A and B are shown apart, each in its own frame.
Chain A
Amino acid sequence: EPEVTQTPSHQVTQMGQEVILRCVPISNHLYFYWYRQILGQKVEFLVSFYNNEISEKSEIFDDQFSVERPDGSNFTLKIRSTKLEDSAMYFCASSAGATNEKLFFGSGTQLSVL
Chain B
Amino acid sequence: QKEVEQDPGPLSVPEGAIVSLNCTYSNSAFQYFMWYRQYSRKGPELLMYTYSSGNKEDGRFTAQVDKSSKYISLFIRDSQPSDSATYLCAIGKTSGSRLTFGEGTQLTVNP
User: Which positions in A face B, CB cutoff 8 Å?
Assistant: 4, 31, 35, 41-45, 48, 56, 58, 91, 93, 95, 97-108
Contact = CB atoms under 8 A, between A and B. Distances in A.
B103 to A, nearest CB: 5
Interface size class of B (residues with CB under 8 A): 20 to 34
Given A44-B101, A58-B98, A100 B45 contact: no
B96 A42 contact: no
Given A56-B98, A100-B32, A100-B96, A43 B49 contact: no
20 contacts: A4-B43, A42-B101, A42-B103, A44-B101, A45-B98, A45-B100, A56-B98, A97-B96, A98-B96, A99-B95, A100-B34, A100-B92, A100-B95, A100-B97, A101-B49, A102-B46, A105-B43, A105-B45, A106-B43, A108-B43
B88 interface: yes
A103 B101 contact: no
Contacts of A31: 96
A65 to B, nearest CB: 15
A85 to B, nearest CB: 19
A48 B96 CA distance: 10
Contact of B43 (A48, A99, A102, A107): A107
Tell which of B43, B96, B100 has the most Cβ of chain A within 10 Å: B43
Interface string B75-99: 0000000000000101010011111
A42 B99 contact: no
Interface in B36-62: 41-46, 49
Nearest to A48: B98
Contact of A43 (B44, B45, B46, B96): B44
A98 B95 contact: yes
A42 B42 contact: no
A105 B49 CA distance: 15
A107 B42 contact: yes
A24 to B, nearest CB: 14
